[in-house]
Structure 1
Amino acid sequence: MHNLKLVLTIALVALSGCSPPSSEGRGIEPPLSWAILPDGSKIAVGPLLPEGTAGSQPVVRCWPQAQGFECLAINGEKFRDVRRFRASELPVRLWEEASPAGYECQITDYMGIGYKETIHGTSGQLQEHMSSNGFGTIEGSWSKKYVEDYWRANGIQPKTLWMNCLALTRIVAPNSNATIGTTDVSPSLLDKGS
Protein backbone atom coordinates (compact mmCIF):
# COMPACT_ATOMS: atom_id res chain seq x y z
CA MET A 1 0.00 0.00 0.00
CA HIS A 2 2.84 2.36 0.85
CA ASN A 3 4.44 1.74 -2.58
CA LEU A 4 1.15 2.49 -4.33
CA LYS A 5 0.85 5.80 -2.46
CA LEU A 6 4.43 6.67 -3.43
CA VAL A 7 3.80 5.89 -7.11
CA LEU A 8 0.56 7.91 -7.12
CA THR A 9 2.30 10.82 -5.44
CA ILE A 10 5.00 10.76 -8.13
CA ALA A 11 2.36 10.54 -10.88
CA LEU A 12 0.43 13.53 -9.51
CA VAL A 13 3.61 15.54 -9.05
CA ALA A 14 4.42 14.76 -12.68
CA LEU A 15 1.20 16.58 -13.56
CA SER A 16 2.92 19.75 -12.39
CA GLY A 17 5.32 19.61 -15.30
CA CYS A 18 2.75 18.75 -17.96
CA SER A 19 1.39 21.36 -20.29
CA PRO A 20 -0.37 21.17 -23.61
CA PRO A 21 1.88 20.58 -26.59
CA SER A 22 2.74 23.78 -28.39
CA SER A 23 2.36 24.18 -32.11
CA GLU A 24 6.03 25.22 -32.33
CA GLY A 25 7.95 22.74 -34.40
CA ARG A 26 4.73 21.13 -35.70
CA GLY A 27 3.78 23.93 -38.03
CA ILE A 28 0.40 25.59 -37.73
CA GLU A 29 -2.37 23.16 -36.93
CA PRO A 30 -5.30 23.11 -39.35
CA PRO A 31 -8.46 25.05 -38.47
CA LEU A 32 -11.00 23.11 -36.44
CA SER A 33 -13.93 21.52 -38.23
CA TRP A 34 -17.16 21.65 -36.21
CA ALA A 35 -20.08 19.19 -36.01
CA ILE A 36 -23.43 19.79 -34.31
CA LEU A 37 -24.48 17.44 -31.50
CA PRO A 38 -28.16 16.51 -30.76
CA ASP A 39 -28.36 19.04 -27.88
CA GLY A 40 -27.33 21.91 -30.20
CA SER A 41 -23.77 22.14 -28.87
CA LYS A 42 -20.86 21.91 -31.29
CA ILE A 43 -17.81 19.66 -31.18
CA ALA A 44 -14.45 19.62 -32.94
CA VAL A 45 -11.76 16.96 -32.74
CA GLY A 46 -8.17 18.04 -33.30
CA PRO A 47 -5.45 16.08 -35.05
CA LEU A 48 -3.88 13.02 -33.42
CA LEU A 49 -0.38 13.84 -32.23
CA PRO A 50 2.40 11.52 -33.44
CA GLU A 51 2.85 9.96 -29.98
CA GLY A 52 -0.89 9.71 -29.31
CA THR A 53 -3.28 6.77 -29.52
CA ALA A 54 -6.88 6.62 -30.71
CA GLY A 55 -9.10 8.57 -28.34
CA SER A 56 -6.33 10.93 -27.22
CA GLN A 57 -7.02 13.60 -29.82
CA PRO A 58 -7.77 17.05 -28.43
CA VAL A 59 -11.51 17.74 -28.30
CA VAL A 60 -13.39 21.03 -27.93
CA ARG A 61 -17.12 21.26 -27.20
CA CYS A 62 -18.99 24.57 -27.22
CA TRP A 63 -22.51 25.29 -26.03
CA PRO A 64 -24.31 28.33 -27.54
CA GLN A 65 -24.93 31.12 -24.99
CA ALA A 66 -26.66 34.50 -25.25
CA GLN A 67 -23.28 36.17 -25.93
CA GLY A 68 -21.34 33.59 -27.96
CA PHE A 69 -20.24 30.21 -26.61
CA GLU A 70 -19.19 28.45 -23.43
CA CYS A 71 -16.50 25.92 -24.32
CA LEU A 72 -14.69 22.98 -22.77
CA ALA A 73 -11.39 21.80 -24.27
CA ILE A 74 -9.39 18.67 -23.39
CA ASN A 75 -5.95 17.68 -24.60
CA GLY A 76 -3.60 14.82 -23.76
CA GLU A 77 -3.70 11.12 -22.97
CA LYS A 78 -2.43 9.92 -19.57
CA PHE A 79 -2.32 13.49 -18.22
CA ARG A 80 -5.19 15.48 -19.73
CA ASP A 81 -5.36 19.26 -19.56
CA VAL A 82 -8.91 20.61 -19.43
CA ARG A 83 -10.00 24.23 -19.80
CA ARG A 84 -13.36 25.95 -19.72
CA PHE A 85 -13.73 29.34 -21.40
CA ARG A 86 -16.13 31.74 -23.09
CA ALA A 87 -15.72 32.82 -26.70
CA SER A 88 -17.62 35.27 -28.89
CA GLU A 89 -17.08 32.90 -31.85
CA LEU A 90 -16.20 29.23 -32.22
CA PRO A 91 -12.43 28.78 -31.77
CA VAL A 92 -10.47 28.07 -34.96
CA ARG A 93 -7.39 26.64 -33.22
CA LEU A 94 -6.58 24.69 -30.05
CA TRP A 95 -4.50 25.98 -27.13
CA GLU A 96 -3.79 29.58 -28.08
CA GLU A 97 -1.81 30.01 -24.84
CA ALA A 98 0.17 27.48 -22.79
CA SER A 99 -1.33 28.47 -19.40
CA PRO A 100 -3.62 31.49 -19.55
CA ALA A 101 -4.69 33.37 -16.42
CA GLY A 102 -7.55 31.56 -14.74
CA TYR A 103 -8.29 27.97 -13.75
CA GLU A 104 -7.15 24.65 -15.19
CA CYS A 105 -8.05 21.05 -14.40
CA GLN A 106 -5.66 18.18 -15.18
CA ILE A 107 -7.04 14.63 -15.14
CA THR A 108 -5.13 11.38 -14.93
CA ASP A 109 -5.92 7.69 -14.83
CA TYR A 110 -2.25 6.79 -14.44
CA MET A 111 -1.88 4.47 -11.42
CA GLY A 112 -5.31 5.44 -10.09
CA ILE A 113 -7.80 8.17 -10.87
CA GLY A 114 -6.71 11.63 -9.82
CA TYR A 115 -6.72 15.28 -10.73
CA LYS A 116 -4.86 18.50 -10.19
CA GLU A 117 -6.47 21.92 -10.30
CA THR A 118 -4.45 25.10 -10.62
CA ILE A 119 -4.97 28.84 -10.59
CA HIS A 120 -2.78 30.88 -12.91
CA GLY A 121 -2.04 34.59 -13.03
CA THR A 122 -0.32 36.40 -15.88
CA SER A 123 3.06 35.43 -14.38
CA GLY A 124 2.29 31.69 -14.03
CA GLN A 125 0.87 29.18 -11.56
CA LEU A 126 -0.20 30.63 -8.20
CA GLN A 127 -2.16 27.85 -6.44
CA GLU A 128 -2.36 24.06 -6.79
CA HIS A 129 -4.56 21.29 -5.35
CA MET A 130 -4.02 17.59 -6.11
CA SER A 131 -6.15 14.58 -5.20
CA SER A 132 -6.14 10.87 -6.06
CA ASN A 133 -8.10 7.78 -5.08
CA GLY A 134 -4.70 6.17 -4.43
CA PHE A 135 -4.66 8.11 -1.14
CA GLY A 136 -8.07 6.81 -0.05
CA THR A 137 -11.19 8.84 -0.75
CA ILE A 138 -10.66 11.36 -3.52
CA GLU A 139 -11.11 14.93 -2.21
CA GLY A 140 -13.58 17.43 -3.62
CA SER A 141 -12.63 20.23 -5.99
CA TRP A 142 -12.11 23.80 -4.92
CA SER A 143 -15.42 25.64 -4.82
CA LYS A 144 -16.31 28.21 -7.45
CA LYS A 145 -16.53 30.81 -4.68
CA TYR A 146 -12.99 30.02 -3.45
CA VAL A 147 -11.52 30.37 -6.96
CA GLU A 148 -13.43 33.55 -7.82
CA ASP A 149 -12.59 35.13 -4.44
CA TYR A 150 -8.91 34.32 -5.06
CA TRP A 151 -9.06 35.95 -8.50
CA ARG A 152 -10.73 39.07 -7.07
CA ALA A 153 -8.32 39.38 -4.13
CA ASN A 154 -5.32 39.09 -6.46
CA GLY A 155 -6.59 41.23 -9.35
CA ILE A 156 -6.70 38.32 -11.81
CA GLN A 157 -8.78 38.73 -14.96
CA PRO A 158 -9.37 35.05 -15.84
CA LYS A 159 -9.41 33.77 -19.41
CA THR A 160 -10.26 30.24 -18.28
CA LEU A 161 -13.13 29.52 -15.90
CA TRP A 162 -13.74 27.32 -12.84
CA MET A 163 -15.31 23.88 -13.25
CA ASN A 164 -16.00 20.99 -10.91
CA CYS A 165 -12.79 19.11 -11.69
CA LEU A 166 -13.72 16.09 -9.57
CA ALA A 167 -17.11 15.60 -11.28
CA LEU A 168 -15.46 15.78 -14.69
CA THR A 169 -12.60 13.49 -13.60
CA ARG A 170 -15.02 10.74 -12.60
CA ILE A 171 -16.51 10.73 -16.10
CA VAL A 172 -13.46 11.35 -18.28
CA ALA A 173 -10.59 9.52 -16.51
CA PRO A 174 -11.76 5.95 -17.25
CA ASN A 175 -12.69 6.87 -20.84
CA SER A 176 -11.33 8.86 -23.79
CA ASN A 177 -11.26 12.59 -24.49
CA ALA A 178 -14.29 12.07 -26.73
CA THR A 179 -16.37 11.59 -23.57
CA ILE A 180 -16.81 15.38 -23.37
CA GLY A 181 -19.03 15.06 -26.46
CA THR A 182 -21.58 12.83 -24.70
CA THR A 183 -24.69 13.59 -22.65
CA ASP A 184 -22.59 12.78 -19.55
CA VAL A 185 -20.89 16.19 -19.82
CA SER A 186 -22.85 19.44 -19.70
CA PRO A 187 -22.53 22.95 -18.27
CA SER A 188 -24.63 21.82 -15.29
CA LEU A 189 -22.09 19.05 -14.53
CA LEU A 190 -19.26 21.58 -14.75
CA ASP A 191 -21.14 23.89 -12.34
CA LYS A 192 -22.09 21.08 -9.95
CA GLY A 193 -21.53 22.21 -6.37
CA SER A 194 -20.82 25.84 -7.28
Structure 2
Amino acid sequence: MISNLSPPIFFSLLLTCCAAGDAPVAPLAWKELADGSKVATAPYDRANESGGTVRCWPISGMFDCLSVFEGTWREAIRKRYTALPAQIGSQLDRAVAGSGYRCSLEADGGGYQEEIRNENSAKLIGHVYTDISGNEPNWSRDYVEAYMRDNALAAITLYFDCAYVQDALRNGSMATLGTTSIAFDKLAGNASR
Protein backbone atom coordinates (compact mmCIF):
# COMPACT_ATOMS: atom_id res chain seq x y z
CA MET A 1 0.00 0.00 0.00
CA ILE A 2 1.43 3.36 -1.00
CA SER A 3 0.76 5.17 2.30
CA ASN A 4 3.02 2.74 4.21
CA LEU A 5 6.18 3.66 2.31
CA SER A 6 9.23 4.81 4.19
CA PRO A 7 10.15 8.51 3.96
CA PRO A 8 12.38 9.70 1.16
CA ILE A 9 16.01 9.62 2.25
CA PHE A 10 16.83 12.87 0.52
CA PHE A 11 14.12 14.73 2.42
CA SER A 12 16.72 15.98 4.88
CA LEU A 13 18.05 18.15 2.08
CA LEU A 14 15.04 20.36 2.67
CA LEU A 15 16.32 21.21 6.10
CA THR A 16 19.45 22.73 4.64
CA CYS A 17 19.17 26.39 3.91
CA CYS A 18 19.21 27.02 0.28
CA ALA A 19 21.09 26.80 -2.98
CA ALA A 20 24.48 28.48 -3.30
CA GLY A 21 24.03 32.25 -3.38
CA ASP A 22 20.42 32.22 -2.15
CA ALA A 23 19.38 34.13 0.93
CA PRO A 24 18.47 32.05 4.02
CA VAL A 25 14.84 30.98 4.19
CA ALA A 26 12.90 31.92 7.31
CA PRO A 27 11.61 28.86 9.19
CA LEU A 28 7.92 28.13 8.92
CA ALA A 29 5.69 28.87 11.90
CA TRP A 30 3.54 25.78 12.51
CA LYS A 31 0.07 25.82 14.04
CA GLU A 32 -1.42 22.64 15.49
CA LEU A 33 -5.06 22.02 14.54
CA ALA A 34 -7.80 20.25 16.53
CA ASP A 35 -7.37 17.00 14.55
CA GLY A 36 -3.65 16.81 15.46
CA SER A 37 -2.46 17.97 12.06
CA LYS A 38 -0.11 20.93 11.64
CA VAL A 39 -0.26 23.74 9.11
CA ALA A 40 2.23 26.42 8.08
CA THR A 41 2.18 29.15 5.47
CA ALA A 42 4.97 30.98 3.70
CA PRO A 43 3.64 34.27 2.27
CA TYR A 44 3.98 34.79 -1.49
CA ASP A 45 7.34 36.40 -2.24
CA ARG A 46 7.26 38.29 -5.55
CA ALA A 47 11.07 38.40 -5.84
CA ASN A 48 11.38 34.61 -5.67
CA GLU A 49 7.94 33.91 -7.16
CA SER A 50 7.14 31.42 -4.43
CA GLY A 51 5.06 30.88 -1.34
CA GLY A 52 2.42 28.50 -0.15
CA THR A 53 0.91 26.34 2.55
CA VAL A 54 1.74 22.87 3.86
CA ARG A 55 -0.40 20.69 6.12
CA CYS A 56 0.88 17.51 7.78
CA TRP A 57 -1.20 14.81 9.47
CA PRO A 58 0.36 12.45 12.04
CA ILE A 59 0.10 8.90 10.67
CA SER A 60 1.83 5.90 12.32
CA GLY A 61 4.72 7.84 13.85
CA MET A 62 5.32 9.91 10.70
CA PHE A 63 3.69 12.85 8.99
CA ASP A 64 1.73 12.63 5.76
CA CYS A 65 1.94 16.09 4.20
CA LEU A 66 0.22 17.98 1.40
CA SER A 67 1.85 21.13 0.14
CA VAL A 68 0.32 23.71 -2.12
CA PHE A 69 2.75 26.28 -3.37
CA GLU A 70 2.61 29.06 -5.88
CA GLY A 71 5.32 29.67 -8.43
CA THR A 72 5.78 31.40 -11.76
CA TRP A 73 2.52 32.70 -13.22
CA ARG A 74 0.89 32.11 -9.81
CA GLU A 75 0.49 28.44 -10.74
CA ALA A 76 -0.44 26.31 -7.74
CA ILE A 77 1.51 23.06 -7.54
CA ARG A 78 0.43 20.34 -5.14
CA LYS A 79 2.43 17.39 -3.78
CA ARG A 80 1.86 14.80 -1.07
CA TYR A 81 4.73 13.07 0.71
CA THR A 82 5.70 11.43 4.01
CA ALA A 83 8.26 12.68 6.51
CA LEU A 84 9.55 11.91 9.97
CA PRO A 85 8.49 14.44 12.66
CA ALA A 86 11.99 15.97 12.77
CA GLN A 87 11.95 16.46 9.00
CA ILE A 88 9.09 18.90 8.81
CA GLY A 89 9.60 22.39 9.96
CA SER A 90 11.94 24.58 8.01
CA GLN A 91 10.65 25.11 4.49
CA LEU A 92 7.97 24.23 2.00
CA ASP A 93 8.68 21.07 0.04
CA ARG A 94 9.61 22.82 -3.21
CA ALA A 95 12.70 20.59 -3.45
CA VAL A 96 10.78 17.31 -3.14
CA ALA A 97 11.49 15.75 -6.50
CA GLY A 98 11.61 12.27 -7.90
CA SER A 99 9.04 9.76 -8.98
CA GLY A 100 5.41 9.99 -8.09
CA TYR A 101 2.14 11.81 -8.56
CA ARG A 102 1.69 15.56 -8.89
CA CYS A 103 -1.10 17.93 -9.66
CA SER A 104 -0.91 21.53 -10.83
CA LEU A 105 -3.41 24.28 -11.47
CA GLU A 106 -3.16 25.61 -14.98
CA ALA A 107 -1.84 29.17 -15.14
CA ASP A 108 -5.09 30.56 -16.56
CA GLY A 109 -7.06 29.10 -13.65
CA GLY A 110 -9.32 27.20 -16.04
CA GLY A 111 -8.27 23.67 -15.20
CA TYR A 112 -5.68 21.41 -13.64
CA GLN A 113 -3.23 18.73 -14.66
CA GLU A 114 -2.42 15.38 -13.08
CA GLU A 115 0.87 13.69 -13.90
CA ILE A 116 3.20 10.88 -12.89
CA ARG A 117 6.95 11.46 -13.07
CA ASN A 118 9.96 9.16 -12.92
CA GLU A 119 12.98 9.33 -10.59
CA ASN A 120 14.52 12.09 -12.76
CA SER A 121 11.28 14.10 -12.50
CA ALA A 122 10.56 13.53 -16.20
CA LYS A 123 6.82 13.40 -16.93
CA LEU A 124 5.74 9.90 -18.00
CA ILE A 125 2.00 10.44 -18.29
CA GLY A 126 -0.32 13.36 -17.74
CA HIS A 127 -3.85 14.55 -18.26
CA VAL A 128 -5.17 18.11 -18.43
CA TYR A 129 -8.68 18.73 -17.15
CA THR A 130 -10.41 21.77 -18.56
CA ASP A 131 -13.81 21.05 -17.02
CA ILE A 132 -13.37 21.99 -13.35
CA SER A 133 -17.06 21.45 -12.60
CA GLY A 134 -16.33 17.85 -11.56
CA ASN A 135 -18.06 16.28 -14.57
CA GLU A 136 -14.79 14.80 -15.86
CA PRO A 137 -13.50 12.04 -13.51
CA ASN A 138 -9.94 12.46 -12.31
CA TRP A 139 -7.45 9.64 -11.76
CA SER A 140 -8.24 7.25 -8.93
CA ARG A 141 -5.80 6.12 -6.27
CA ASP A 142 -6.01 2.57 -7.67
CA TYR A 143 -5.07 3.82 -11.16
CA VAL A 144 -2.05 5.81 -9.92
CA GLU A 145 -0.81 3.00 -7.66
CA ALA A 146 -1.19 0.40 -10.46
CA TYR A 147 0.66 2.62 -12.97
CA MET A 148 3.50 3.18 -10.51
CA ARG A 149 3.69 -0.53 -9.64
CA ASP A 150 3.49 -1.69 -13.27
CA ASN A 151 6.29 0.68 -14.25
CA ALA A 152 8.51 -0.11 -11.22
CA LEU A 153 8.37 3.46 -9.90
CA ALA A 154 9.09 4.21 -6.24
CA ALA A 155 6.58 6.68 -4.88
CA ILE A 156 8.31 9.76 -3.48
CA THR A 157 5.31 12.01 -4.05
CA LEU A 158 2.03 10.23 -3.28
CA TYR A 159 -1.45 10.16 -4.80
CA PHE A 160 -4.14 12.48 -3.49
CA ASP A 161 -7.58 13.41 -4.82
CA CYS A 162 -6.61 16.48 -6.80
CA ALA A 163 -10.17 17.35 -7.81
CA TYR A 164 -11.22 17.32 -4.14
CA VAL A 165 -8.39 19.69 -3.16
CA GLN A 166 -8.92 21.83 -6.27
CA ASP A 167 -12.60 22.27 -5.45
CA ALA A 168 -11.90 23.23 -1.82
CA LEU A 169 -9.23 25.77 -2.78
CA ARG A 170 -11.25 27.18 -5.69
CA ASN A 171 -14.19 27.80 -3.34
CA GLY A 172 -11.88 29.30 -0.70
CA SER A 173 -8.19 30.18 -0.83
CA MET A 174 -4.77 28.76 0.06
CA ALA A 175 -5.79 29.21 3.71
CA THR A 176 -8.54 26.60 3.18
CA LEU A 177 -5.84 23.90 3.40
CA GLY A 178 -5.69 24.58 7.15
CA THR A 179 -9.41 24.04 7.75
CA THR A 180 -11.90 21.19 8.12
CA SER A 181 -12.72 21.68 4.42
CA ILE A 182 -9.79 19.32 3.75
CA ALA A 183 -10.24 15.90 5.40
CA PHE A 184 -7.31 13.47 5.28
CA ASP A 185 -9.33 10.37 4.32
CA LYS A 186 -10.93 12.17 1.38
CA LEU A 187 -7.61 13.73 0.37
CA ALA A 188 -5.83 10.34 0.37
CA GLY A 189 -8.60 8.69 -1.64
CA ASN A 190 -9.75 6.54 1.29
CA ALA A 191 -13.30 7.92 1.42
CA SER A 192 -15.88 9.19 -1.03
CA ARG A 193 -16.42 12.90 -1.40
Question: Is the shorter-chain TM-score for this pair beyond 0.5, marking a shared fold?
Answer: yes
Match of 1:27 in 2: 23
Q: Separation in 1 of the partners of 2:66 and 2:109?
A: 25
Whether the 8 Å CA contact 1:105–1:115 is kept in 2: the answer is yes
What does residue 83 of structure 1 align with? 79
1:110 is matched with which residue?
108
Task: Determine what percentage of the aligned residue pairs are the same residue.
Answer: 31
**Of 115, 131, 134, the match for 1:133:** 131
Q: Distance in 1 between matches of 2:19 and 2:173?
A: 22
| Post-superposition offset of 1:115 | 1.1
Query: TM-score, normalising length from structure 2?
Result: 0.75
Q: How far apart are 1:73 and its partner, in Å? A: 0.4
Question: For each residue in 1:24-50, what CA deviation from the matched residue of structure 2 results, as whole angstroms up to 9, or x when unmatched?
Answer: 764232222211112221111114212
Instruction: Kindly indicate whether the alpha-carbon contact (under 8 Å) linking 1:23 and 1:29 is maintained by their aligned counterparts in 2.
Output: no
The answer to whether the 8 A contact 1:42-1:62 is kept is yes
Q: 1:43 to 1:91 in 2, by over 3 A?
A: same
1:189 to 2:186 alignment: yes
5+ residue gaps, structure 1, are 1-21
* Aligned-residue RMSD, C-alpha: 2.7
2:42 paired residue number: 46
Which residue is equivalent to 2:58?
64
Q: Deviations over 1:9-65 (max 9, x none)?
A: xxxxxxxxxxxxx96764232222211112221111114212699xx8410111111
**Which structure 1 residue ranges, 4+ long, deviate > 4 Å from structure 2?**
22-26
1:98 deviates by 5.9
Note the C-alpha offset of 1:192: 3.7
Which residue, out of 166, 169, 179, partners 1:169? 166
CA distance in 2, matches of 1:174, 1:52: 27
How far apart, in 2, do the equivalents of 1:32 and 1:68 lie? 18
Give the unaligned 5+ runs of structure 2. Answer: 1-17
